[in-house]
Each structure stands twice: as structure tokens, then as C-alpha cells.
Chains A and B, each alone.
Chain A
Amino acid sequence: MTTTLSLEAEVARLVVEALHLEVAPEEIDPEAPLFGEGLGLDSIDALEIALAVSKRYGFQLRSDDEMNHRIFASLRALAAHIEKNRAA
């Protein structure tokens, strides 16, 4: 579990840095939605996150509709998706 936790913190830092957010990475509620009500991200941010993820973790995010909703459902979901898909 420790790997997952530290990856979550790493992804929080990545998101805050890539998007120049005005929050500290540890302030992001890992269960809150990234878009809309939670962090309030939008489609410009989604592209930025996709770019940052491809550079850092070596794989591409895709628009497979429902999948995509789940991936961006929360920081935790995004970190889990990265864990599963990152280049070894």
C-alpha cells in the first residue's frame, strides 16, 4: 500500500505543477472529483495532465468515454490508472 500512497502524492505534485494550481499537493482531497465540483479543472487541464502523464509515466491517456470519467473521478483514481498503465 505504501507504493500507492506515495504515487498518489507524486501525482498530486504533478497535477499542481502542470496546472500551476494555487493549492498545495497535500491539500488535494484524494477522493474529491478533479473536475467540476472538486478541484474545478476543465478540458484545458485535461490536456495538460495527459501531456504531463505521457512525459513522466510514458503512456497516453485516451477518450474512451466512461473509462475517462472514472480515471478523472479523483486523484486516487488517476493514480490507480497510472499505476496500472505506467511503462515498467
Chain B
Amino acid sequence: MPADAALPLTSRAPHEVIFHRGREPVTTARFLAEVAALAARLPAEGPVLNFCADRYLALVGFAAVLSRGQVTLLSADRSPQRLADIARLHGARCALADTEAELPVPVLRPDAAPGADAPNPLIPAGAVAAIAFTSGSTGEPRPHAKPWGALVAGARAAAERFGVTSGTAIVGTVPAQHMYGFETTLMLPLHGGGAGHAGAVFYPSDIAEALAGVPAPRLLVTTPLQMRAVLGTGIALPPLAAVISATAPLDPRLAAEAEAAWGAPVLEIYGATEAGSVASRRTLEGDAWEPYPGTVFAIAEDGADVTVPGLPAPVPLSDTLEPLPEGRFRLAGRRADMVKLAGKRASLAGLTRILTDVEGIADGVYLAPADIDDNPRARLAALVVAPGMTPKAVVAALRGRIEPAFLPRPVVMVDALPRDGVGKLRQAELAALAWPRGPVRR
């Protein structure tokens, strides 16, 4: 769509249910009234850091900020230091939060107060609606601007791909500020279809309760870790229309178990914070990924990029892709240095650099276990040369500088790293030092 086009805040009809707050359905008309009420309370200028845990408040906050022509900063990492960094680096004027927070900017608590009927404002498609963040190679938050047109196009593509109708209830277990959670649980109700679910959903019992509290058809948006936990607990789920999984590769055995237990197709989304959701597949139908409508992959020897409707330039991908007929592709692994844990990506070289920058550490290296690509519970290890330091002290020094998911486990202290004649690290020996009992399937 042309960048000068304008798209409404929502394409849902006024009487349609756009969200479920507990057992209370919220119509689009009521949502727009609450958005207008909050928009009136916002400072004159953005950007606004939004880290509401309640998904409905997160959506009202995002929409209010957007309707004022301001930008929302989305941080999947909720640690106080990271939030403060983002607020400072990007000049946030205020934050929207529903939990206690100490931040260098004023914190506003969005409340969902019913107001008078409010308009459905038009937003320029080219306007930056949100900025999502990834960790750069040195750990600093790296911004990725999301034009409004790209977010809307993504929501429409997802609704078409997953057959989300206006009556579908969407229960998500991923934070609203994670790009995958944002697209599936905020943008989908806003522009695709379906009604979101507001509450905190994390543990297996939360998932079962949340699903039981919304009308069918039900769509569960989750992660391999949580699917594994629900199946492991043996907790029963009400009938599902479909399950969507992302953030980590889904083991086909787990997908088969889930489809058998829940009687619903298990679908996976392929995406990245930079590009958003760009392809999907039904895990049990094979390893071919089907690009989202309008999305084009360019696959070359030295890497792949993806052209996404609404984004100004092709986005390079950190995975190695193999082209298949009809525009589809297969994932042939990741670029060796990039690892992904708990839905976040980092470079081993970058982590190693942070490690060896710690005072008292003479040498060190971050390692990924052999099962990192198919075991969502895998952890990184670190080998460290630091006379007089304990593993505990190493972890303490890294905390706050590295996302918790990437803190090394285990940390193994060694006298020297095994290097060959030209000083290159011997990978097999490194692995043997880090995991002396061999690869463990956790």
C-alpha cells in the first residue's frame, strides 16, 4: 500500500467483541471510547514506553498513543535496567504500566474507563507506530521501527492464514511487548479478527483456566516450552480450534503429542523482531514454510532476506534458508554465531566479548550445546579463565549486562582455553570441558 495512505485504528465493526476482560466482553465501540479517554491524558509528545502486563491495557495504551500520533516503545525484556535504558536512549516522555515500576520518566496507569462514543481515527500507513527492540551484539537495545501499514498488513495476513474469524477467542501466553505476542494478541484483534484475552497467562493451569473462560472457537498462541509444560502436567484443555507456536523450533514429536491431546492443528510461525511474522507451517505436514501473503523471500548463497509489505527495505535474516518450489522454503540451520533462547537472539561472539570484558576475567568463551536448535530448554555454557574467581562471581558480574536467558549455565573455570597451534579454539575440547558427561537431553 502507498505510504501516504491512511488506515483506521481498527477495522472491527463497533458491535464486535474485540477483547475479553475476565468474563466481560469489550466491544470495539467501548474500546474506542476508552482509547480516546486515555489519549486525552497523555503528554503532548511521545514516545511512550508501554509495558502493561494486562494485554487489554497494553492495547488501549498502544492505540491511545498511536491516535495522538506518537510512537510506542515495546520492550519484551521487563527488567528495570533495560526499561530505564530504553526510556533514556529513546527519549521516552512517559511510561504506561499496570505494575509498580521505578523509571526515570513519569509512569501513567491506563485505566479502562467507559467514556462517550469516540471516533475511529485514521493513521498514516507510513507513520512509525511502534519501536521493537533486539539485543545488539554488545547487548545494547537495538531499535526496529514498525510503520503502521506494516503492522496492519501483518495482522490481515495472519488472519487470512490462520482463518481467524470475528468470533475467535485468542488466548496468548507470550508478553504483549514481544513482537510475536504483539502481532498475534494485539494487532490480530485490532485488524485481523478475533477477540483477545486480557489476563496473565503463563503456567499450565492459567492456560487451562483462560481457555475455559472464553467462548469457542478458541485459538491458543503459545511457545514450545509452554506446550511441553501443559502436556507434562497432564492438565485438560477445552476444545481448541488451533494452536500457534513460535519463539523456538517446535519438535515434531511434541507437535504430534499436542495435536493428539488437544485435537487441533498445531501451526508454527516463522519470524523475527526485525521483520515480524513472515511465514508459517503446520509442523506435522513437513518442514516447508509457506510465506505470508505478499511476503517475498530472496535466498542467496551468502544469506537470505525478506521483503515485507509495509517495511521500507528488505530485512536480512539470521537463518540459512533453502528455497523450495512455489516460493516456499526450508530452514537449513542458523548462522553459526547466532543463538536463540526464550524468544531472544544473541551472538555468541557478542556474549563472549561481554564476558571477557569483565574485570578479573583473563580469557573466556561462550558455547552453545549441540541440541540448542531443537531443545527449547537448552542453556549456554561459559568456559572462563579467571584466577581467584568463582562461577558465582562470574554470573554476578554478567547479571544486568546480559539478558537472564543468556546467563551461562554451567560456568566452568579452567586454567587455560584449549587452543591449537595458531591460537584457534578447539571446539570439541571446549564442549568436553563444558559438558563432561556428554550431551544431556534435558
Contacts and interface: CB of A to CB of B under 8 A. Distances in A.
Q: Do A and B bind each other?
A: yes
Contacts of B442: 20
B325 interface: no
Contacts of B391: 22
Given A20-B442, A51-B232, A51-B233, A46 B404 contact: no
B203 interface: yes
Given A37-B399, A40-B404, A42-B404, A47 B200 contact: no
A51 B229 contact: yes
A50 interface: yes
Nearest to A18: B442
A47 B405 contact: no
A81 B217 CA distance: 35
A51 B407 CA distance: 22
A54 to B, nearest CB: 5
A5 interface: no
A78 to B, nearest CB: 14
A42 to B, nearest CB: 4
A61 interface: yes
A17 to B, nearest CB: 11
Contacts of A44: 225, 341-342, 376-377, 405
A63 interface: yes
A21 B379 CA distance: 11
B104 interface: no
Interface string B310-334: 0000000000000000000000000
A60 B205 contact: yes
Interface in A16-39: 20-22, 36-37
Interface residues of A, number: 22
A40 B405 CA distance: 10
Nearest to A21: B409
A65 B200 contact: yes
Nearest to A65: B200
Interface in B203-224: 203-206, 209
B200 A60 contact: no
A42 B405 contact: yes
A43 interface: yes
A10 interface: no
A62 interface: yes
A63 B206 contact: yes
B204 A63 contact: no
Interface in A43-67: 43-44, 46-48, 50-51, 54-55, 60-65
Contact of A61 (B200, B203, B399): B203
Contacts of B235: 54, 60
B407 A40 contact: yes
A60 B204 contact: yes
A50 B442 CA distance: 16
B299 interface: no
Given A51-B232, A54-B233, A43 B202 contact: yes
Nearest to B200: A63
Contacts of B200: 63-65
Contacts of A55: 232-233
Contact of B203 (A36, A50, A65): A50
B204 A48 contact: no
A42 B68 CA distance: 36
Contacts of A21: 409
A61 B205 contact: yes
B422 interface: no
A63 B440 contact: no
Contacts of B53: 65
Closest 9 CB pairs of A and B: A60-B205, A42-B404, A63-B200, A22-B410, A63-B202, A47-B229, A63-B206, A54-B233, A51-B232
18 contacts: A36-B399, A36-B404, A37-B399, A40-B399, A40-B404, A42-B404, A43-B202, A44-B405, A46-B203, A47-B226, A48-B229, A48-B377, A60-B203, A60-B205, A60-B233, A62-B205, A62-B206, A65-B200
Interface of B: 53, 99, 200-206, 209, 225-226, 229, 232-233, 235, 341-342, 376-377, 391, 395, 399, 404-405, 407, 409-411, 440, 442
